[in-house]
């Protein structure tokens, strides 16, 4: 009988632990599930986002002409996911080079983030696409957030993927990056 009682205690403990793990994982699973595939025809890419993104565009004057950046952003809770692309003049790529353009894009992005602190900026590959990965940290409304961005030049098109999530939610950023694909 002592063995049976110990077995029941052990089973009860395992059940409670399993239930706690399951309950704790439900919000994360819900956040990672039900994402939508975003596939803009002009953007020549597809990516999964937590909800359909809002589109915007910015035009910047440059010595070589106006550059239009198309931005697609999905915000959910304290997280933000965006893909942007710009078609750059060939002369800009020849004059400044890929590294210089990506460096300028990184500096511009960090300036736009309030109190952003660069942690690293290194060569990286996302789904076979070579580029540079920026990791940064920021605090907004008392929430510490981790940012990760991927910069890639494909021909004359500069893509920037950016995920800004609360500390501890980095798996959501990885889901976003791993879903990105270029279309032919």
Instruction: Give me the domain span that covers residue 91.
Output: 36-182
Predicted local confidence at residue 33, as pLDDT: 66
Residues 42 and 67 in one domain: yes
Residues 44 and 72 in one domain: yes
Residues 75 and 154 in one domain: yes
Residues 23 and 49 in one domain: no
Instruction: Tell me which residue has tokens 């961005």.
Output: 149
pLDDT, tens only, 43-78: 999 999 999 999 999 998 877 778 899 999 999 988
Instruction: Tell me which residue has tokens 């991927």.
Output: 150
pLDDT, tens only, 112-144: 887 899 999 999 999 999 999 999 999 877 888
Instruction: Tell me which residue has tokens 């070589």.
Output: 64
pLDDT, tens only, 146-165: 999 999 999 999 999 999 99
Predicted local confidence at residue 151, as pLDDT: 97
Band the pLDDT of 22: cuts 50, 70, 90: very low
| Helix ranges restricted to H, the chain | 2-32, 90-112, 170-179
Residues 41 and 28 in one domain: no
Quote the CA–CA distance of 172 and 184 in Å, as a whole number: 26
Residues 87 and 122 in one domain: yes
pLDDT, tens only, 79-109: 999 999 999 988 888 888 889 899 999 999 9
CB-based contacts of 96, cutoff 8 Å, min separation 6: 104
Residues 89 and 115 in one domain: yes
Residues 15 and 70 in one domain: no
Which of 163, 62, 149, 158 has its CA nearest to residue 102? 158
DSSP state of 53: P
Predicted local confidence at residue 32, as pLDDT: 53
For residues 16-28, average pLDDT: 32
Band the pLDDT of 8: cuts 50, 70, 90: very low
What is the tally of structural domains in the chain?
2
């Amino acid at each position: 009988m002592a063995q049976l009682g110990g077995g029941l205690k052990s089973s009860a403990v395992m059940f409670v632990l399993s239930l706690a793990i399951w309950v704790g994982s439900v919000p994360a699973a819900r956040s990672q599930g039900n994402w939508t595939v975003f596939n803009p025809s002009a953007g020549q890419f597809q990516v999964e986002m937590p909800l359909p993104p809002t589109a915007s565009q910015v035009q910047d004057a440059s010595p070589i002409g106006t550059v239009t950046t198309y931005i697609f952003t999905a915000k959910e809770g304290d997280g933000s996911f965006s893909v942007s692309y710009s078609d750059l003049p060939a002369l800009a790529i020849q004059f400044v080079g890929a590294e210089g353009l990506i460096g300028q894009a990184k500096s511009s992005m960090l300036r736009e983030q309030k109190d952003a602190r660069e942690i690293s900026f290194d060569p990286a590959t996302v789904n076979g696409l070579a580029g540079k990965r920026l990791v940064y940290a920021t605090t907004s409304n008392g929430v510490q957030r981790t940012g990760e961005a991927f910069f890639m030049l494909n021909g004359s098109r500069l893509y920037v993927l950016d995920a800004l999530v609360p500390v501890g939610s980095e798996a959501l950023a990885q889901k976003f990056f791993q879903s990105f694909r270029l279309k032919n």
